[in-house]
Structure formats: C-alpha cells, structure tokens
C-alpha cells in the first residue's frame, strides 16, 4: 500500500519539488502551505509521515510539532523538520519536541527522499496488530504485554515491559530516568530514580542477546539501539 506523506511548506516551489520527488519515489503526497489546515486534516486522516517546515506564516513549525506530538491520536506520526536555521538549539529543540529528524535548507532532494525512507522503515516496525518486531527473533505484543524471544515468551514484569515499550518506541532516543519514571507511574512518584537502574538490569538479563540494545548514556539515561538490519 502506498504511504501517505503530508508536506507543509509555504514556499510553493519547494513544496512542489518535494511533492514531485516523493511521488516519483512511490509515495502519495498531500500539500499544505499553512500549518493550521494540516492540523485540521489530521482530525480525519492519519498520514504515515509529516514533512514540516519550521518557518510558517500561521503557526511556528515547532508549535505545530508540539501539538501533533501532544495528541495521543497523532503522536506516533513521524515528523521530518525542514529548517533554514542553522542553529544547533533549533535542531535540538525540534528533536526534543518529538520531531524524528530534520533536514537543513537548501537540501538535496535525493537526501530528503533517503531520510524519508529511513524514517518510514523505522516506523513500519509498529504494525496495525499493535505488535513490534524488533527483529525476526524478538517481538513485543502491546495488547497482551508479552515479549517473545526466539519463539519463547519471556517472563517480564509489567514494569520491565513498559520500560521496553517506552525505549523501543523511539529507537536511538535517550530517555532520562525521570522520564522513564513518569512513563511508569505518572506523577505518582514515590520511587527513586535509582529504581530504574534495577529494573533495567533485570530487563537486560531477560532479553539475553538483545541486552546490549539497551544503552546507558552516562549522566542522561537510557536508549534503545536496534540491532543492525540483516543480523
Ligand atoms: Ca517557510
């Protein structure tokens, strides 16, 4: 099935060029010159990816990104930011607001299509069955809170499963201990951050060969690095 990509960009020549290149690469596209009509369209349709310009006349791209990622109905849609700004702060802020990647203008359209492909490949991990296939040997069933390794069900506690669910949701993204705790218990935090380390240790023991996929980023927290393709 053709993947649907929303493109939001007020410079019409860029909008048309990006749309044309993506269509040539086999994607279906829908073009918007403003952010608000795009947000409106999201109420009735969920695209596979949104390419979002940072500087838009009606709503800042950052704000649009925040609204998309802050809504449970749209939070899983990957966002690729287009930015003319070169400041590292903007990129970091964009990624913090939940953008999946960014491309700096002027960009090479081949590069853009390659980025789109990479993001969509990552996103296709999550299937309609609410199951995540990390690899042929390792998968998670989010409906039943079960994990399977080499065809066997592994005995994870609910907490361990939820940590794994959070980390694998955005591979490569570093979650702080405090963010992990928020995900587990919301604001009802009676546990200390050190608890996260204990759960992570137990989780690593159970997922055997995949234990190295959970990476400790010193002073920050944890992230999930998926195994290389083909392994
Ligand atoms: Ca613009």
HEC profile of 93-136: HHHHCCCCEEEECCCCHHHHHHHHHHHHHHHCCECCCCEEEEEC
Q: Is residue 149 part of a domain?
A: yes
* Rounded Cα–Cα distance for residues 16 and 9 (Å): 9
Residue 230, domain member (yes or no): no
Looking up residue 20, the CATH number of its domain turns out to be 3.40.50.2300
CA of 84 to the centre of ligand 1 (A): 8
Domain boundary among 84, 107, 123: 123
How far is residue 114 CA from its own chain's centroid? 17
pLDDT tens by residue, 92-103: 666 667 787 888
Residue 94 included in any domain:
yes
63 Cα: distance to centroid of ligand 1 (angstroms): 14
Same domain, yes or no: 14 and 115: yes
- Residue 198 sits in a domain whose CATH number is 1.10.10.10
Same domain for 139 and 112: no
Residue 83 has what pLDDT?
Answer: 82
Q: Give me the percent of the chain exceeding a pLDDT of 90.
A: 38
* 18 and 106 assigned to the same domain: yes
231 falls within a domain: no
Span from the CA of 71 to the centroid of ligand 1 (angstroms): 24
CA 111 to ligand 1 centroid distance, Å: 19
CA dist 54 and 6 (Å) reads 14
- Whether residues 119 and 172 fall in one domain: no
Say what the pTM is: 0.57
Whether 25 is covered by a domain: the verdict is yes
Q: Are residues 160 and 219 in the same domain?
A: yes
**pLDDT computed for residue 128 by the predictor:** 47
166 and 81 together in one domain: no
Provide the 8-state DSSP code for 216.
E
Shared domain for 105 and 160, answered yes or no, is no
Q: Which of 11-20, 83-92, 143-152, 213-222 has the lowest mean pLDDT?
A: 83-92
Residues with CB under 5 A from ligand 1 (ion): 10, 53, 55
Domain count, the chain: 2
Task: Identify the top-confidence range among 4-8, 107-111, 175-179, 212-216.
Answer: 4-8
Helix axes 194-206, 177-185, angle to 10 degrees: 80
Tens digits of residue pLDDT in 55-71: 899 998 889 999 998 88
Same domain, 159 and 108: no
Is residue 83 assigned to a domain? yes
Q: How many CA atoms lie within 13 A of 116 on its CB side?
A: 28
In this structure, are 154 and 55 located in the same domain? Answer: no
Residue 194 domain boundaries = 131-224
Given a cut of 60, whether residue 187 has pLDDT beyond it is no
Q: Over 50: is that where the pLDDT of 10 sits?
A: yes
């Amino acid at each position: 099935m053709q993947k649907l990509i929303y493109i939001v960009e007020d410079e019409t020549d860029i909008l048309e060029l990006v749309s044309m290149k993506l269509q040539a690469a086999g994607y279906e596209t829908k073009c918007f010159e403003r952010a608000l009509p795009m947000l409106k369209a999201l109420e009735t349709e969920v695209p596979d990816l949104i390419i979002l310009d940072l500087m838009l006349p009606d709503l800042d791209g950052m704000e649009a990104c925040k609204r998309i990622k802050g809504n449970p109905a749209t939070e899983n849609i990957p966002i690729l930011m287009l930015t003319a700004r070169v400041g590292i702060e903007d990129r970091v802020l964009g990624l913090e607001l939940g953008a999946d990647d960014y491309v700096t203008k002027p960009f090479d359209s081949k590069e853009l299509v390659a980025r789109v492909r990479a993001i969509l490949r990552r996103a296709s991990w999550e299937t309609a069955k609410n199951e995540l296939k990390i690899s042929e040997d390792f998968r998670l069933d989010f409906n039943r809170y079960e994990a399977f390794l080499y065809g066997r069900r592994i005995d994870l506690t609910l907490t361990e499963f939820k940590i794994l669910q959070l980390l694998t949701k955005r591979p490569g993204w570093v979650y702080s201990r405090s963010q992990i705790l928020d995900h587990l218990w919301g604001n009802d935090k009676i546990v200390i951050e050190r608890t996260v380390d204990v759960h992570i240790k137990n989780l690593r023991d159970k997922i055997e060969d995949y234990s190295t996929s959970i990476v400790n980023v010193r002073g920050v927290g944890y992230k999930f690095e998926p195994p290389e393709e083909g392994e």
